[in-house]
Structure 1
Amino acid sequence: IGVVRFHPNDHNLCVCGGFSPALRAWDMRTDKVIHIYKAGVQQHFEVLFLPGGKEFLSTTDSVSRDSADRTIIAWDFQTAAKISNQIFHERYTCPSLALHPKESIFVAQTNGNYMALFSTQRPYKMDKKKRFEGHKVEGFAVGCEFSPDGSLLVTGSSEGTVSFYSYHTARIVRSISGDGSACISVNFHPVLSSLLATSYWDGQIRIWQ
């Protein structure tokens, strides 16, 4: 298991995935699988519930020379039906996703060394005019997250640097240098928005203010 995400409206339900061709939804009250989402891939990297919890997204390792279908897949939570697998058409995997706290937008971290914006509304169109470039991913499962007010998009990097992008301009407004170990996760405190936790490939966790 590489990823577990709880349902936003019912924390007794979760979706998990990893080195398996399918995702599974579990009911923690009964310890039983209630839905199976068959993607036909080798690995799932990320799961992100969309607002309301009726739909969720998953990212996979499915990238070939000629096609990027199934890189990001949209699912119906209740029916386990695949809504779309034609969301991201560039041939890069997407190790992490993040939901904007105020707008109908989600961001995908890509192994092309940039982050791309998409609509949370069907058909989940990508914003081709704005992308967040300047950090390196290079094969690491680097995480990203919006600040609680949505004004910043923060990401780690394969070099250990933490980059703060302006959501509106897509430019880096601040960066924190690393010590060489890849920064693979960034998370804002849910109450104290001035605190940021970062974790690293070598096992370190740091708290920034």
Structure 2
Amino acid sequence: MADKKIVQWDTRANEIVQEYDRHLGAVNTITFIDQNRRFVTTSDDKSIRLWEWDIPVDFKYIAEPNMYPMPSVTLSPNGKWLGFQSMDNQILIYGAQNRLRLNRKKNFKGHMVAGYACQMGFSPDMSYVVSGDADGRLNIWDWKTTKLFNKFKAHDGVSIGCIWHPHETSKVITCGWDGLIKLWD
């Protein structure tokens, strides 16, 4: 929430049953990992926190002086990696199993997202990483080499969301500030 809190809501009882109150800025993302036993959060305070479900104290805190806010986080299809869209125009990859740790060999650049919460995604077979950008492009990187494989104009205005189709693996779905949702083959 904007007031720096994360709330756990019981829909059956229609009440808040747990508050997580450790961030120093507005909470941007909540991403569940480890079969929903843990979750990762990011915030305007330029930090990443790892939590156990139902325990209101983070057990891992990552904040470096050179970090930027990360307004979008995506779990890979195999559950091994988290992709963080960073406001310094790069996608950072952290291991999602055991310890949350930056993979310095996996860094995806070449797109402009500063100021926008552009979603990123992984191909189902983990061969590619995709992201929209502020210029309306869809960017596709090779997972192994981290090189920009292709980019093309997908939307007029910001291309804010993209997701790889989980079953028809040649297709990517995008959405943009132009109000359109597009299916690309």
TM-score normalized by the length of structure 1: 0.80
Q: Which runs of 4+ in 1 moved over 6 A?
A: none
RMSD: 1.9
Letter in 2 for 1:135: H
| Partner SS for 2:100 | coil
Residue 26 of structure 2: aligned partner: 43
Q: Which moved more, 1:77-86 or 1:131-140?
A: 77-86
Q: 1:79 to 1:139 in 2, by over 3 A?
A: same
C-alpha contact 2:9 2:15 (8 A) present in aligned 1: yes
C-alpha contact 1:72 1:88 (8 A) present in aligned 2: no
Map of 1:1-209 to 2, 5 A cutoff? 18-63=1-46, 71-86=47-62, 90-102=66-78, 104-209=80-185
Deviation at 1:159, TM superposition (A): 0.8
Higher relative contact order (CA 8 A, sep 6+): 2
Q: 1:206 to 1:152 in 2, by over 3 A?
A: same
C-alpha contact 1:59 1:73 (8 A) present in aligned 2: yes
In the alignment of these two chains, the number of paired residues is 185
| Partner SS for 1:108 | strand
Gaps of 5+ in 1: 1-17, 64-70
C-alpha contact 1:87 1:125 (8 A) present in aligned 2: no
Gaps of 5+ in 2: none
Percent identical among aligned pairs is 24
Letter in 1 for 2:160: I
Mapped partners of 1:179, 1:173: distance in 2: 19
Letter in 2 for 1:148: P
Deviation at 1:141, TM superposition (A): 0.7
